[in-house]
């Protein structure tokens, strides 16, 4: 059985929506995902607000209740019958997220055993056939086949297999051998 690693933030979980919601509420702004085309929220944020931007992530409840990306559950359930699914998430830069991420995965993806969770930093450590991730630098370091999951910040990036949503993930793997 071939192995797929799946990133959490911006791929399984809609982390950006929650970050924007807190940002807009705190600073009385109305930024949308479209405003972030080609750049990250960090680059758009004035220096004097960056500390607060980081504090949102450190809050105990941030990663606990993130909304799901539409279709992630159904498509991963289907793929788990043909492929070995591992979750690979960068958690080490926000250590407060470790517990909440674990519980979120258990709640929303009970068919993926915790033995297949990988909380890491540098994704070059992953031994797998595929990695679905929104960050080009993670895919560059990965030695298997990288699949770029579209997010506002990566819209202008080229050179990777790209999927815009979970329906496209399903279509891509439908023709890959398992």
Most distant CA pair in the chain, distance:
50
Residue 4: name the closest of 105, 80, 90, 110 by CA: 80
Residue 154: name the closest of 132, 174, 171 by CA: 132
Answer for which of 50, 124, 140, 167 binds its own copies (CB under 8 A) is 124
CB 85, min distance to its own copies, A? 11
Contact 5, 132 (CB under 8 A): yes
Q: Based on the residue annotation, tell me whether 134 is a catalytic residue of this protein.
A: no
160 vs 140: CA distance, rounded Å: 9
- CB closer to its own copies out of 98 and 170: 98
Answer for which of 52, 122, 140, 167 binds its own copies (CB under 8 A) is 122
- Judged by CB under 8 A, does residue 114 bind its own copies? yes
Q: Based on the residue annotation, tell me whether 7 is a catalytic residue of this protein.
A: yes
Answer for which of 38, 67, 70, 99 binds its own copies (CB under 8 A) is 99
- The b-or-e profile of 53-68 (16+ CB within 10 A means b, else e) is beebbeeeebbeebee
The binding track of 11-50 with respect to its own copies, each residue x by CB under 8 A or -, is: ----------------------------------------
- What are 163's strand-pairing partners? 149
Answer for which of 98, 108, 136, 162 binds its own copies (CB under 8 A) is 98
Residues that bind its own copies (CB under 8 A): 5, 86, 88, 91-93, 95-96, 98-99, 102-103, 113-122, 124-128, 143
């Amino acid at each position: 059985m071939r192995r797929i690693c799946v990133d959490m933030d911006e791929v399984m979980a809609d982390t950006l929506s929650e970050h924007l919601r807190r940002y807009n509420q705190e600073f009385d702004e109305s930024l949308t995902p479209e405003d972030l085309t080609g750049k990250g929220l960090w680059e758009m944020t004035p220096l004097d607000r960056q500390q607060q931007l980081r504090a949102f992530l450190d809050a105990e409840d941030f990663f606990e209740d993130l909304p799901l990306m539409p279709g992630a559950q159904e498509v991963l359930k289907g793929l788990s019958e043909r492929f070995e699914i591992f979750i690979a998430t960068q958690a080490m830069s926000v250590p407060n997220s470790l517990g909440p991420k674990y519980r979120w995965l258990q709640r929303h993806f009970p068919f993926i055993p915790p033995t297949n969770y990988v909380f890491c930093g540098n994704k070059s450590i992953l031994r797998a056939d595929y990695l679905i991730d929104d960050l080009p630098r993670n895919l560059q370091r990965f030695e298997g086949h990288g699949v770029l999951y579209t997010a506002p910040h990566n819209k202008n990036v080229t050179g990777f297999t790209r999927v815009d949503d979970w329906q496209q993930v399903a279509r891509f793997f439908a023709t890959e051998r398992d």
